[in-house]
Structures are given as C-alpha cells and as structure tokens.
Chains A and B, each alone.
Chain A
Amino acid sequence: MESNLPHLDAEAAGAGRAMREWRPWRASPAVVLLAAILLVLIVPPTLFLINASIHTTKVDGSFDQLTLRYYGGLFTNPHFAGSLLNTLVYAFGSSIIALALGVVQALIVERTNTPGRGYVFLGAVISLGIPHVLYVVAWLLLLGRSGPVNAAIDVVLGAGRDGPALDVHSMWGMILIEGFGFAPLAFLLMSAVLRSADASMEEAAIMSGAGLLKTFRAITLRLSAPGLAAVLLLFFIRAVESFEVPALVGLAGNVTVLTTSIFQSERSVSPPSQGEAAAYSVCLLLIVALLLWWYGRLARHAHRYQTITGKGYRARLVDLGRARYFTALLLLLIFALAIVLPVAMLAFTSLQPFYEGPSADSLARLTLDNYRTVLEPGSFRDAVANTLVLGAATATLVVPLTAICAWLAARRWRGAWLLDQLATAPLVFPALVMSVAFLNVFVNLPLPLYGTLLSIVIASVVRHLPYGMRYAYAGVLQIHAELEEAAVAAGAGPSRVFVRVVLPLIAAALVSCWLFVFLLTVQSVALPLLLAGPGTELVAVTLFDLWQNGQVTELAAMGVLWLAFATAAGACFHVITRRYRVLLEGQ
C-alpha cells in the first residue's frame, strides 16, 4: 500500500502537522494528486459526453454544428412529463424494495444468532455473478404470460380471461424485478455498514428494557443513517440511469421511463444519434452533483454517527432464542424469492429444446443441447484469460484508489469533496455512451493503447469507481477520528495512519468490494463492446454474440454456466475472507 503512495510518505511531515492541528482546510498534496488521477481518468469521456450533447453528428460520427436542440428536445418531448413521473416512481419504488430487503437481511446476519446466516453473504455475492440482463429474463419467464405463476393462477381461478392474470409488463413488474435484482447489493453494502458499527449502544438499550425491534429501529438504524442514506442515494441514481429493466419489462407494456423514452427518440434518426442520451446524462450529472452536495451537508454531522471508537468494536450477537428459527425462515424466504426461483427458472429453461412454459410435456423434452451449443469447442479459447486479467486488474486498481479517496473525503480534507464528486460521476454515464466516448479517446491517443486490454481496464476502472467509493465510504464513515488522532499523537504520518489504523478497520468491506467489482467487471458487456477488438476477446462479449443470435434456451444455459463460475469465485472468496477475519480478530 505504501509503495502505491510515495507522495504520502514524502509529504508525511507536512500533512502530519496538518492532521495534528486537525485543520483539514490546509491544502493537501495527497488530495491534489488523487484529484489529478481521477481527472485524467474522467475528464476525457466527460468532455466527449458534453460535446456529444451540444453537437449534431455527421454521418461518419464526427461532430457537426453546435446545437442546444438535444436539451430542448428533452423537455419538449411529448412523452417527457409522463416518463419523468414514471422514472421517479420506478426509481424510488425499486430502491426502497432493494434497501428494505437488504436491511432486513443485514440486521439478521450481523446482529443475531440466526442459524445459517453466514451463507447469506455467499448467496448475495454469487447472485451478483448473474448478468443483470439474464436475471431480468429469468423473472420474465417466471412472471410472464406463459410462466408458472400465471399458470398457477389460471388453475386456481380458472382460465378464459382475455389477457394474463398478472401482467408483468407494468410498473409493479419493473419495480419488483429491479428491487429484487439489487437486494443482494443492498445487503452487502448495509452489512458493511453494520459490521463496522459499535453495538454497545444497542446492548445498553436492550439492557434498559427496550425490545429488539425497538432497539433496531431506534438505535441501529439511526446510527446507520448516513450509510443508509448513501446506499439509498446510490440505488436511486442507479435506477434513474438503468436501462435493462425499463426496456425488457416496461417497453412491452408501454410504460416508458426517461432512458427508454430517449432510446426510442434517438433510434428515430439514422444513424442513431448520441445527442439526446448525452444531454440526458449531462442533466443527470448535474442532479447527482447536487444530491451529493446535499448529502455532504447532511453528513457534516457524521461524527455523531461514528460508532467505531477506541473501544472494541465487534458487535455482539443478540440471542434470539426460539425466534431465531423464524428469522432463519425469513432469510430462506428472501433467498428463495430473490435467487432460487429465478435461477431455477433459468435452469429449467436451459434444459428445454424450446421454451413453452413448464408442463408435463416439457418434462419429457429435457435435453443438454443448449449446453453443447454454448460450450462449443473453442468458444472461449482466448476470452477466459483476458476476462480474468481484466476483472482482477480492475478490482485491484479500484479498491485502493477509492479507499484512500473515501477516507480523505470522509475526513473532510480540503478539496476532498471533489474526490467524492469525481469518483461518483461515472455512475450516470450510460455504459453505451461511455463506450463510444472511450473509443474516441483511445483511438485518437498518440499512445498505442487502442485495442489493448489495458484500455479496457482503464475504462472499467472509471466505470466502477462509484461502487468502490460507496463501499469504502460506508466503512470509513463509522470510524471515529479519535483512533486516527491517537495514532497521529503517537507520531504517525497520514499514510501510516491510513495503512495501520484505517485499512484494518475497513478491510472486510474492501475485500467484499474487490469481489464485487471483479464480478461486475467480468460480466459487463456494453462498456467493452467497442473497446475490445481482434485479440482482446472477452467472455461476456463473446456471450453477447449468443444474446444477439441465440435462442432463449441457449441464453438460459449461458446464465447457469455464469452462475457456476460466480459460485466457484464466491466460494473461494468465502474461504479466504473467513480466514482473513480469523486473523483480524486474532490481532
């Protein structure tokens, strides 16, 4: 770690003094350097985005005339008001569902002695391995007109209605699928928040006679408020920017949100223009900046919530007695709904020659042909190695970078708010627009980066900065500055404080962050689509070939294989982090 940060060592004396006086407004070279790194990463694609939003595009893709019509078009679009309302309902609804599921699971796992709780972490991480598009397809198979849910309703209520009893292509369908899809991430983020929180106040409350639910409500959740708000913010922005669920679920039911409305408008010209999507992203960028600024003001009093102090911080588990079987059942139920059901649907579909809904006939048709197609010899010859390198490199770069940025931002070093803003900005770039932006950056660069794996790594790092940032921020927020002050008083410089004090305390969050970024990176398709070329084939992009040309049954087979891969990766990690935690607690 220290070798990554020679500047910190070099400046240790000066910055150390700044820390000792606790006057974070003094300019810090560390902040300047990190800001410079982030700027180099983020400014080129952002400039392209802004340019794309204010220029018409010529047929060869170059910029033509200056125009504001894309911004005008956003607001004069006849579908704007309806789409905006839908977007708000959808984003709010889905983030609430995801967060509620995540919080319930995190509380049970981190605070109670419910049996089997350790596997929730594993399940959540593994489920992140399913590409989002496939997850959505699984839900559509499940809830669709010919799916088992509607079939069951028809059996109970009798068939003969005009349409399906449950029409999943609707607002509730979108909210439900997006909400469930992000529940595992919500759980991981919230458990990072709770794990590093001191439970002594909870114990005090329980000893004073407060019930368990009351304690969770009045103490645990309130203390986690900044972390909770940060996660909610992240999900809200994610949902506003999301495309898969609105396109796959919403469009077919004529429910449009802003992203799908833009998609429909930009496809009305040929070749497709990036202008409206870019203008939309720029507006989102401003809104996110505003939200972050507002959040920063809220978190100004974050020290009130700091619960990791000089005292031991490991939360003690509440003994639930008999009720622990009930909570175990609850965990099982959530697991079944969010993961087992859609995955089972995928597995079933993958064994069919064609998909016609589960029936007695379909059981007689089981076949492995789809796996044969997906695993055709040579399919992933070079792609596997490239993919693993890409995922590992991206995660290894993102995690330390965001950990330092998050610490500086949380400690309110002068200018460090900018780090937070910069690292969060890529969240609002639609992956497709970002892909075009990076393509244009790399192909024009006087360095031979274009078409290399390194160029894809750089783009992936930018894409996943926001996730790393939120993970680390949640961890850092809860560490009381007194621990660091003590280290400073003992003569440690900022780099030493960071490595010896902060890092061990947020290590657990960072380890799961690494895995999370790794899994997100290896499954992302839209971003590397244009950056990959001959020689830099990636598994996800190769599979996208199937997505474009293949049948739904083959897609399902591919989803099951992905899941097997993610399970293997997750299990390895589980073992490693377990050992690591033992080490940590032993210290």
Chain B
Amino acid sequence: MTRASARRPQHRLLALVVGLALSVGPAFAEDDVDILLYKGADREQKLVDGARPEGQVVLYSAMIVNQALRPLAERFSRKYPFIKLSYWRADSEDIVQKISAEVRANNVVADVIEGTGVGELATQANLVQPYFAPALSAYPERYRDPAGLWAPTRLSYYSIAYNTRRVPADSVPKTYNDLLDPRWKGMIAWRIGTASGTPLFITNLRLAWGEEKAARYFEKLKDQKIVNFGAGSARTLVDRVVAGEYAIALNIFAHHPLISKAKGAPVNSQLMDPVPSTTATMSVVKGARHPHAAMLLADFILSAEGQEILLGAQYFPADPRVAPSPVLSPVVPGIAGVPENFVAPDTLLKFSESSEQIFQKLFR
C-alpha cells in the first residue's frame, strides 16, 4: 500500500484490515505526491478540482481555538464551501506523538500539522512530505526550509519579564550580564521541561557567544539560584511575576507582559541582545488522505488573509507583509532595533539535548 507498510511487513495485514474497515476517503495514489510539488499555472484549478471529491481536510494545530483555529476554519469554509475543515488542538509534543502513531499504524487521520517544533521532530521521524506553496516566495529566506518539508506560520520572540514594583526603572537588567548582579539572587525564575524554556535560553547564548564564553556565563548564572518553574505555561510564569512571586522571569514570550501591562499590571518586558526567536511550522503528513484540500489549506494559512487572522490571536505573522499589531510591535526586534538570533527548528532540536544537559548539570 505505501512505503511504510512495506518496511514493516508485520503491519501489512493490519494496514489492510484497517484500510478496509475505515475505507473512507479516496485511496492514496502516486499523483497525489506530485500535486504537493506541482508548480504549473493551473495549480489552483487542479487543487480545487481535486479537493472537491475529497470533501474535507483535517488540521492538527497548537494554535489557540477561539481566536485562531475557529476563525481560520470559518473563513476557509467561506472560501471553499465544498471542503469541511475539522481541527484538533493540542500541544506540539502531543501532535507529534499522535501523528507518529497514526503513520506507523497506517491509519492517518490528519492532513496538515502545525505547531512549534512540530515540523522538525516530524521531519526527523520521517512523518511528513515536501510541498510547494507559492506564497512562501515572499517570506524571508531564513524562515524557510530548503527541503520544503515545513513552512513558517507564526514567529515568537523571547525576552525577560520583570515586575515593575520589585525592579525599579533605573535598575532593570538590560544585558545578559546585568542578570548576574547579586541583588537578583533567588528572585529570578525560568521555565523547565519544555524546549522553548531553559534549553532555548542556553542554546541562544551558545550560538551567539560560542561555547566557551557561554559556559563561563552559565557558571556565574548558577550562583543566582534561579527558581525552576516546573508546571504551567510561559503565560503562567508571567502571571507569577505580575503577582510579585518572582521579580524576573527569563525566556518568556516577549508579548505576554505587554498584554498584561496594557491592562495596568505592574509588569514589562525587556529585550536583550541577542533576542532569540523561533517559528511555528506547518507540514503535510505522509499518507494524507486529502492532499488537494491540504494544499488549499496550507496556501490559505500562508496567504495574507490567513496571516491576518493570526493577528487576532496575538501571534506574530511569519509573512513580512502583514505588520504585527501596534501594541505588540515594541518587542519585535527589527522594530525595536535589537539584534535577533533566529533559532531555526533544526538548530533548536540539534542543540536542545546538550543545552538541557548543561541545565541538568548546573541548575538542577
């Protein structure tokens, strides 16, 4: 049936049975792979014609439902009323877990997956296939995958958050070295147990400064007795800073403090040179049952229309033509004039294990 089942003969029978039992959606043929990479002038027409009999498309995404996924689904179905878009929201790690189980069992439900770190993990696990999206040509080169296995959807910038009551305006740490000031000892927290927490903080400085300088810095940072914030999201950690529980939080999403600040909360963000940034990615699953509809969906999310919907959920669109919202633009490094260090998905994955080990050795 597919390459996966040939590689795992013990699954062939099972796959057949599952295939028969489900037997929904059209069978997956060779030209379906070609349609993902098709570049001809009649691409749009071909996709629409092919999507009609498919009738639906399934998206697994880490985006928030109310402000992002639901409006996306509504606008998409207005544009293509003959395609039913259904989505499942989960964290990126869970999406990869679910997808890998589906692909291994040859029981693929999802067509398109989206999340932070999803693309690279899925690429390594050989769960996705390359595709061509014309909209990407307007995106900066550094945000794109040369192999075409993933496309960027939304960007994240990381900074420190500080409580404005506990950190007076004249002593706000402005550089990474300022964080070593003994006055902050025991008052700083960071997020553990997720790739965008401690590993990203450490990876960013290793990339920017080189191993030796970074290692010397971490040795000193160790003396600050940083609190390991173990459960709860980055947003929760910022809330603890608002509450005055911690004076400073490292490596949180730079726009979260701004949102609270707008409501009058005693919190702010401070970008530091270099500002680490990452992108969430979107990929097409191997063996997707609705390849034409999947391509229409990918095109839609990458289009200006799709990217503008993300603004409503307070994401930073990856499309440079869609400007970030004015409230949040102070933390966009390009606008604030602070150097940005884009940590590509493959780099983040490659470094995160060794960065996590540095954390385990010094900070646990």
Contacts and interface: CB of A to CB of B under 8 A. Distances in A.
Interface of A: 58-62, 79, 141, 144-146, 163, 244, 247-248, 251-252, 254, 260, 263-264, 267-272, 353-357, 365, 373, 376, 378-379, 436, 439-440, 443-444, 446-448, 450-451, 529-530, 532-535, 542, 545, 547-553
B353 interface: yes
Given A251-B228, A545-B65, A270 B21 contact: no
B236 interface: yes
Given A60-B100, A60-B103, A252 B94 contact: no
Contact of B231 (A251, A376, A448): A251
B272 to A, nearest CB: 23
A118 B244 CA distance: 41
B87 A534 contact: yes
B333 to A, nearest CB: 23
A535 B87 CA distance: 8
Contacts of B126: 60
Interface centre among B66, B94, B104 (most CB of A within 10 A): B66
B340 interface: no
B338 interface: no
Contact of B89 (A61, A444, A545): A545
Contacts, number: 163
Interface string B178-209: 00000000100100111100000000000000
Given A270-B352, A532-B88, A549 B101 contact: no
Contact of A439 (B98, B194, B243): B98
Contacts of B359: 268
Chain A binding surface, main DSSP class: loop
Interface string B281-297: 00000000000000000
A440 B105 CA distance: 8
B98 to A, nearest CB: 6
B260 A354 contact: yes
Contact of A551 (B97, B194, B235, B245): B235
B90 interface: yes
B101 A439 contact: yes
B127 interface: yes
Query: Interface size for chain B: under 10, 10 to 19, 20 to 34, or 35 or more residues?
Result: 35 or more
Interface string B266-281: 1100000000000000
Given A146-B245, A354-B264, A446-B18, A244 B231 contact: yes
A432 B347 CA distance: 28
Contact of B364 (A264, A365, A548): A264
25 contacts: A61-B104, A61-B125, A144-B243, A248-B230, A251-B231, A252-B227, A252-B229, A260-B230, A264-B364, A268-B353, A270-B353, A270-B356, A353-B264, A354-B263, A356-B242, A356-B243, A439-B101, A450-B109, A530-B90, A530-B94, A533-B109, A534-B86, A534-B109, A545-B89, A550-B235
Nearest to B264: A353
Contact of A61 (B21, B97, B228, B232): B97
B22 interface: yes
B22 A354 contact: no
Nearest to B189: A252
Interface centre among B14, B227, B263, B352 (most CB of A within 10 A): B263
A83 to B, nearest CB: 12
B199 to A, nearest CB: 8
A483 to B, nearest CB: 49
Contacts of A548: 91, 233, 235
B247 to A, nearest CB: 11
Given A252-B227, A268-B356, 13 more contacts: A62-B100, A141-B243, A251-B228, A272-B93, A356-B243, A356-B265, A373-B66, A436-B97, A451-B109, A530-B97, A534-B86, A550-B235, A551-B235
Given A252-B227, A534-B86, A271 B96 contact: yes
A48 to B, nearest CB: 11
Given A145-B244, A270-B195, A353-B265, A62 B104 contact: yes
Nearest to A378: B70
B48 interface: no
Contacts of A270: 121, 195, 349, 352-353, 356
